[in-house]
Amino acid sequence: MKLPNLTILDEVDKRLRLTSKEVTFPLSKEDKDTINDMLTYLEMSQIEEYNKKYNLRAGWGMACIQLGIPKRIFVIVEETEKEKFKKYVVINPKVISHSEELVFVGEGEGCLSVNREVEGIVPRYARMNVEAYDIDGNKYTIRVREELSVAFQHEMDHLDGILFVDKIDKKNPYKNMNKMREI
């Protein structure tokens, strides 16, 4: 596998705060290549051999805006078993419904654009139904739960210029923790 040449923006870059624009179909070759590069990068970041070789931080998801491209596209690469991955290409997503139940990631969320330790919890919906388009412009609906729901919400926030650190209460980073379920 060859590591794609991607430059991931750091949280200080103001472009991360842009609201990404809806995408029209068919996608350009450049957009499709970017999506495939993002998928490859995330997969390699989760495989120990590559993540050591290239000094990569493991990541589950990436939004185009993290590469400075303000388009409503993100990808998620979920390891389902050792070095086996399920890949999600999510274009122009919309939340159709979500649970009332809130969850948070016990060890805290991370982000390839936030290169520091962050204390605190981010309230997220435990389950969601999302409508989106795939790389070929086919509309689909997906139900996401638990960690995958958190990943979808994290990436959808990027599309609106929001970082996970914005959702942590500055004065009380563990606020309302007892009203949510840890995952």
Condensed to tens digits (0 to 9), the pLDDT of residues 137-163 reads 999 999 999 999 999 999 999 999 999
Pairing status of strand 127-133 against strand 139-145: antiparallel
Using DSSP, how many helices (H) and how many strands (E) does the chain show? 3, 8
Q: What is the Cα–Cα distance from 106 to 27, expressed in whole angstroms?
A: 37
The answer to whether 133 and 140 have CB atoms below 8 angstroms apart is yes
Q: What is the Cα–Cα distance from 89 to 48, expressed in whole angstroms?
A: 23
Q: Is 30 left (phi over 0), alpha (psi -120 to 50) or beta?
A: alpha
Would you call 118 helix, strand, or coil by DSSP? coil
Condensed to tens digits (0 to 9), the pLDDT of residues 125-136 reads 999 999 999 999
The answer to whether 77 and 43 have CB atoms below 8 angstroms apart is yes
Pairing status of strand 102-104 against strand 84-98: unpaired
Q: Which residues are catalytic?
A: 155
What percentage of the chain carries pLDDT values higher than 70?
100
The answer to whether 134 and 91 have CB atoms below 8 angstroms apart is yes
Radius of gyration (C-alpha) of the chain in whole angstroms: 16
Q: What is the Cα–Cα distance from 70 to 118, expressed in whole angstroms?
A: 25
The answer to whether 111 and 154 have CB atoms below 8 angstroms apart is yes
Q: What is the Cα–Cα distance from 65 to 78, expressed in whole angstroms?
A: 20
Condensed to tens digits (0 to 9), the pLDDT of residues 42-63 reads 999 999 999 999 999 999 999 9
Domains (range + CATH), the chain: 14-182 (3.90.45.10)
Q: What is the pTM of this model?
A: 0.95
pLDDT for position 83: 86
Total Cβ atoms within 10 A of residue 94: 11
DSSP 167: G
